[in-house]
Amino acid sequence: MESPPRDVPQPSGLLTRLLRETGVANLVEVLTERLTPSDLQSLMLEIYARVAGRSTPRKLLEQYQRDRFVRPAVVDPRVLGELDRVGWSALPAEYVPLELSPLCPLGTASAVATVSQNKVVSTARGTEVVSDATNVLALECAVRRRADPSRPALLSASQRLTRAQGLPGPKSWAHFRLLCLCAAGRDAGASTFELQSLEAQLRFYLRYVAALTAAGWPLSAPRVALTDLSGGRLLPSLEQLSARLRAEHPGVRCHLDPERKSGRGYYLSVCFKLCVQDAQGVELEVGDGGDVGWTQKLLSNAKERLVISAIGQERLATFEKRSG
């Protein structure tokens, strides 16, 4: 299955000025099309070596103080460690946890998830800083599915991510930690794989929130909002799923959300949001997920299915745990 054609990015104002001032109108084409990837990498390494050579301890300290990408996280690492411990203890036995590299191949976010490369921190060595662990888990799922197409690939990771774009809200940061799940398998007909994987992942997150609450975290009124993106085909199944989750988890509000705008064009047929309330009753979105077509593209196989999801460890860490 071929990937859809991409629009050719138009030069930004800054790039237009640089092309004009250098007098090389086709500078970008020369660098990206005439140089081999290895030669381009060698050139970029030389450039960064010269830039770094002009740095001083004073400049380093000034950048460290002002640059949001390099400042420490605002949460206590011991809190994140406890969140991971509780999360791993609630993880379904069939899911395999992985410790991912902080780097992934250049273009992972833009080629797999069609996210703009401008939202990613790229490196000079043909890699990028991981901005979404589900993208990397999708690559690993594809490797495992290619090696053994008869077995689903069920993977998870807790990863600190970095995103280049400025995100709105007081609980959004340049780098943050997510606990992610990915389920990859073959089409079983009638969206069976997608619905079963989505339900399994939702059950995990609800068990996770319940375990945190029992351990003293002030999380209340969990809410799951399910959105049908199939044009109504999956509505009966989602209504049944919603009823099952409410019956299995008393106190959890689970409902259909046909008005959701985000995620359309990103997820294929179904998606969800998970929200909790703090001690003051303020609701905060902490989880999100749905089915995507990434392994279809990676393996050139329209029968491949992939369900991804994540919960924000950094956001959960902002809830102050009760002592005792």
Local confidence band at 4 (pLDDT 50, 70, 90 cut-offs): very low
Q: How far apart are CA 21 and CA 19, in angstroms?
A: 6
Residue 3, pLDDT score = 38
Q: How far apart are CA 246 and CA 239, in angstroms?
A: 11
3-state secondary structure string, 93-126? CCCEECCCCCEEECCHHHHHCCCCHHHCCECCCC
Domains of the chain, earliest start first: 13-54 (no CATH), 77-100+133-317 (3.30.930.10)
Please compute the mean of the pLDDT values over residues 303-321 and round it to a whole number. 94
Q: How far apart are CA 79 and CA 89, in angstroms?
A: 16
- Given a cut of 70, whether residue 17 has pLDDT beyond it is yes
* CB-based contact 229:268 (threshold 8 Å): yes
* CB-based contact 303:186 (threshold 8 Å): yes
- Given a cut of 60, whether residue 323 has pLDDT beyond it is yes
- Given a cut of 90, whether residue 244 has pLDDT beyond it is yes
pTM beyond 0.85, yes or no: yes
Q: What is the mean pLDDT of the chain?
A: 91
Q: Which sign does the torsion angle of CA 275, 321, 172, 6 carry?
A: negative
Within 8 A by CB and 6+ apart from 91, the residues are: 97, 156, 204
What is residue 34's DSSP assignment?
I
Local confidence band at 11 (pLDDT 50, 70, 90 cut-offs): low
Q: How far apart are CA 204 and CA 181, in angstroms?
A: 10
For 169-226, the pLDDT digits (tens) are 666 788 999 999 999 999 999 999 999 999 999 999 999 999 999 999 999 999 999 9
Residue 8, pLDDT score = 43
For 67-100, the pLDDT digits (tens) are 999 999 989 999 999 999 999 999 999 999 999 9
Residue in 109, 180, 144, 142 with CA at minimum distance from that of residue 296: 142
Q: How far apart are CA 254 and CA 251, in angstroms?
A: 9
For 291-311, the pLDDT digits (tens) are 999 999 999 999 999 999 999
